[in-house]
Structure 1
Amino acid sequence: MKLYTLTSIQQLPISREEAWAFFSDPRQLGSITPGDMSFEMIDDLTEPMHAGMILRYRIRPFRFVQVQWVTEITHVIEGERFVDEQRFGPFRFWHHQHRFTEIDGGVEMQDTVHYAMPYAFIGRIAHPLIVRKRLEEIFAFRKEQLQAHFGPMNQ
């Protein structure tokens, strides 16, 4: 199994507590997901994030392809980091760690995703041609939305 890694880092002019409040609320996912993905949370989640929490949603990662994705929050260190792992969905393996570090004037957020493609040889061909590019587009969109919502870092 070929394991890929994608890392995204962004600095925002907010406190770590404010960042945690936003990102630990799964209902915020729709606001930072590209509209063409038709993101839809299946469950109405109102409880605070915790290890063992199951998140179910529908997404359209590519035109004409809709999938149900089920992830589990497997690790939570309040205010610092959490991990979501795919249980059912489009990848063979998905481990996404979210880290929040206080910096001068704000917070640095780091997303590290380790993932593996399904379908063996076909997945390895599709990865550089389609999937990697799409994941990078999703994280670029997320950065734009977060900067629009929270403002840019003062340089």
Structure 2
Amino acid sequence: MIYEINTRQKLPINKQEAWEFLSDPKNLQEIMPDDMGFEILSGADRKMYTGQLIQYNVTPLPGFTTKWVTEITHVEKLSYFVDIQLYGPYALWHHKHFIHEIEGGVEVEDLVHYKIPFGALGRLMHPLLVKPKLNKIFKAREAKMVEKFGHFEN
């Protein structure tokens, strides 16, 4: 089964500011929850480009650290980029990042399609462990973006 996450966050910044921050792979570490043990290993030394490979270590669960390799498959400057997991904890991870201009700022949209490994066991673990963890990660990212850029007032 393929699952979906779709989040939207309004920020009081312009498209250029949003793009400059979100398209710099080094900034991902800044908006990840501290308990994820997120560490960039390689590939984040340049601004984002199609074909870029980025390697991280992540700790999705206490005591379980794994490598995650991402490929940036599409980049449309100031509008969107797409990353996919080539290696990591998911059977499938396809993450689209959109930046929409709105009155008074931007709306940042994340659309993720993912699949859990381990068949029936993975499907059982999804509502108990995986989905709550992903929701926590995206909520933490939202809070860190507000901390960095401020609340959207409109």
The verdict on a shared fold, with TM-score over 0.5 as the criterion, is: yes
Residue 32 of structure 1 aligns with which residue?
Answer: 31
Residue 19 of structure 2 aligns with which residue?
Answer: 20
Q: Give the partner amino acid of 1:20.
A: W
Residue 73 of structure 1 aligns with which residue?
Answer: 72
| Conserved 8 A contact 2:43-2:52 | no
Q: 2:22 and 2:144 mapped to 1: Cα distance?
A: 13
Deviations 1:1-60 (A, max 9, x none): x00000110000000110000000010011111111111000162222111000100010
Residue 91 of structure 2 aligns with which residue?
Answer: 92
Q: 1:90 and 1:141 mapped to 2: Cα distance?
A: 20
Task: Give the superposition deviation at 1:154.
Answer: 1.1
Residue 3 of structure 1 aligns with which residue?
Answer: 2
Q: 1:63 and 1:47 mapped to 2: Cα distance?
A: 31
Equivalent residue pairs, number: 154
Residue 48 of structure 1 aligns with which residue?
Answer: 47
Residue 119 of structure 2 aligns with which residue?
Answer: 120
Structure 2 unmatched runs, 5+: none
Q: 2:44 and 2:147 mapped to 1: Cα distance?
A: 25
Residue 129 of structure 2 aligns with which residue?
Answer: 130
Q: 1:45 and 1:117 mapped to 2: Cα distance?
A: 26
Cα gap change, 1:136/1:9 in structure 2, threshold over 3 Å: closer, same or farther? same
Task: Give the superposition deviation at 1:139.
Answer: 0.2
Q: 1:20 and 1:67 mapped to 2: Cα distance?
A: 28
Under a length normalisation based on structure 1, what TM-score does the superposition of the two structures give?
0.98
Q: 1:30 and 1:71 mapped to 2: Cα distance?
A: 14
Q: Give the partner amino acid of 1:117.
A: I
Under a length normalisation based on structure 2, what TM-score does the superposition of the two structures give?
0.98
Q: Give the partner amino acid of 2:23.
A: S
Q: 2:134 and 2:153 mapped to 1: Cα distance?
A: 27
Structure 1 unmatched runs, 5+: none
Q: Runs of 4 or more off by more than 4 Å in structure 1?
A: none
Residue 148 of structure 2 aligns with which residue?
Answer: 149
Q: 1:142 and 1:37 mapped to 2: Cα distance?
A: 12
Aligned-residue Cα RMSD (Å) equals 0.7
